[in-house]
Amino acid sequence: MRLKPLIAAAITSASLLALPAAADPGQVWLYNWSGYMDPDTLAAFQDATGTAVVLDTYGDADEAEARLLARGTGYDLAIVASETVGRLADAGAISKFSLPAVPNAAGLDTELMQILLASLPQAEGYALPYLWGTTGLAYDRDAVQERLPGAPLDSWALVFDPENASKLADCGISIVNSVEEVLAAALVYLGLDPQSQSEQDIEAAFSLLSAIAPYVRSFDSYQYDALMDGDVCLAIAWSTAGLAPQMEDENSSYQYVIPREGSNLWGDLFVVPSDAGDPEGAHRLVNHVLQPSEMARATVFNNATNSVPAARQQIRDPGYAIPALTLPPELRKKLFVVKPRTGEEKQSLDRRWRLLQIGL
């Protein structure tokens, strides 16, 4: 889940074109988060297969879910947030993969996939992982310690304690615009089950969020620039954005942490729309991306945990061996996956989330 202002000149943007009326054997249509795949990966696929990738992008998980549910998109392949896959599968909007057509799937990190499937059994057969990440805290160490000496830097209390939030408001607090993930973080901070669907628990979590909302500068899916430019000193962020300052600027005072109470493990997953015009081309593209060399490229390009363990040996920069990216066993024990909700339940959360953001 990374939004970055990058559009590859070598890849045609579908936003400039009409969607195809029928499958073109020389093209595969891909729907993905903006700036979330190295253009060299897609160029290499075209060189290897003679098939061009036509790319359309989105900036919000709800946008992608709604578009795929509506059908008739013309997409052959999409990369979507894990929490949407259950609803897409239940609605018949995506098709099962033919694993023999994706031999590189044999190299996937089975442990992370099992963590996902334990909470999201609907994804089995319908989704294959592209990249993994967590939802944690990114903070400017200097700015935070100046305002909060002795602050709990490894705890959700840094943001969810209203007293702490009030003292950090002047240097900027940003919260990722993902209600299901932020709600889960609030629940685990309160000592409740992060997957709880109890109305009492959800009310307690929203009360907590309402208490800190006045101190929040923005609720935003796109946090990369704000963190890289130092516009905020604390963010609940996806690891792809939260890690960017420390990975891309050796002089940065920013740190990204997975809070000790626990954190959400998210996956951005490949799915094949049920009305895909070229599912065979989609399978070939997935198999290409899941090569260890391409997965290594994806890790460096996105600051993400890649889905193929063998790829880590091909990343020469030791900076990418940090626990927040490799997710060693001691960290994996603290991870949970957002439990899928029905469309009606999600709509209810969205309404409460919007009201919270506007102060109602």
Q: Which conformational region is residue 71 in: left (phi greater than 0), alpha (psi within -120 to 50 degrees), or beta?
A: left
3-state secondary structure 272-328: EECCCCCHHHHHHHHHHHCCHHHHHHHHHHHCCEECCHHHHHHCCCHHHHCHHHHCC
Query: How far from each other are the two terminal CA atoms of the chain, in whole angstroms?
Result: 29
Q: What is the CATH number of domain 134-264+338-357?
A: 3.40.190.10
Tell me if 92 sits within 8 A of 277, measured CB to CB: no
Specify the CATH number of the domain 12-132+266-320: 3.40.190.10
**pLDDT at res. 24:** 61
Give me Rg for the CA atoms of the chain: 20
Q: Would you say the CATH fold of 134-264+338-357 matches that of 12-132+266-320?
A: yes
pLDDT at 23: 55
pLDDT of residue 2: 46
Tens digit of each residue's pLDDT, the chain (360 residues): 545 434 333 333 444 344 554 556 689 999 999 999 999 999 999 999 999 999 999 999 999 999 999 999 999 999 999 999 999 999 999 999 999 999 999 999 999 999 999 989 989 999 999 999 999 999 999 999 999 999 999 999 999 999 999 999 999 999 999 999 999 999 999 999 999 999 999 999 999 999 999 999 999 989 999 999 999 999 999 999 999 999 998 889 999 999 999 999 999 999 999 999 999 999 999 999 999 999 999 999 999 998 999 999 999 888 899 999 999 999 999 999 998 888 899 999 999 999 999 987
What integer pLDDT is reported at residue 11 of this predicted model? 36
With both helix axes pointing from N to C terminus, report the angle between 179-189 and 199-212 in degrees, rounded to the nearest 10.
100
* CA 192 vs CA 117, 185, 294: distances in Å: 21, 10, 39
- In this prediction the pTM is 0.89
Q: What pLDDT is stored for residue 10 in this prediction?
A: 34
Which residues, in sequence order, are bridge partners of residue 92? none
Distance CA 260, CA 217 (A): 25
Question: How many angstroms separate the CA atoms of 289 and 89, rounded?
Answer: 23
Please give the pLDDT value at position 360: 73
Strand 173-175 and strand 234-238: the pairing is: parallel
CB contact at 8 A, 58 and 31: yes
Domain ranges of the chain: 12-132+266-320, 134-264+338-357
